[in-house]
Structure 1
């Protein structure tokens, strides 16, 4: 398989491991809860009754069998991770560093685009100001006045626009390089299980083996 398929398989295994962990972390799925209705103690001649009041998930997996499946999936995850590591080591560039840098570049592009579109402006706020003066009788009175709110950008917008263009070019080049590498890089790994489909059904199939 290629590196892209390997990452997809790795993600699916992680999903299944988390699915099993969540199932086993729910006490209702790992305990049988019964209630004994002791009617005979309250009234002679009445029959006692034992009622199962367990609230298991609909899957109803056996705990020990599920633990075994988790261990098998974990072994596969470790094998696949090692194979991915070897494949990445043979690449002509550091894939992880390139992906991380491109995420940062894409994130910064959003902020830069906002700066590139921002303009200096002003807004006349009529009657928004309030002041106080003394009138001829010596009484304090208020009066209202207009406020001209001036907003000025503190940077060279042309330089920011140039950065946007440069970042877009570098991000696109890196994305293309990453995509090509994911498809071209081979990973020495053969899946042991068929991991296609919903998590519940995959686990059910693994339990039947």
Structure 2
């Protein structure tokens, strides 16, 4: 009957459950088509209108990164970078990666292709008005960590030891949580051979 013929005709057509364009066809005329890449030929559909960047974040950042965290996404192939936020975070840690997935939505005007490589920089910590100093200026003694600053005494500059408590690291710099105040003149050269109270000399570069 007509319904049976129509049903049979419908089975000869292939429908995609997503919008997009055909990117690859491995099915050939006369072959059995299942739509499963593991069982033979298939048709790959690509949709470039709603793209996202997926990154695996190490599990030790699970307490400092959340949905809405700011990110910068860069592309090694020269495509423009963009700023965004994490739109989704996975709820489990991968057994092999020891990380969780995070997703960032790609702006509509980006000319990108699926499976491109991206570098994602995530803002996991910020401390407004913090004091950061070169890491190599930190020294240790029996009292803990300290730095030398230039202090004025009787019209002369002398080295003064200040015990410090440090916080987070960023490249070659370290955050100082306590021990220094804005305006302290940190000694950054020759400090290894200086003693507290020793006269300082300055030079212009």
Greater CA radius of gyration, 1 or 2?
A: 1
- TM bin, normalised by shorter chain, reads under 0.3
What TM-score, normalized to structure 1? Answer: 0.17
Higher relative contact order (CA 8 A, sep 6+): 1
Flag the structure with higher strand content: 2
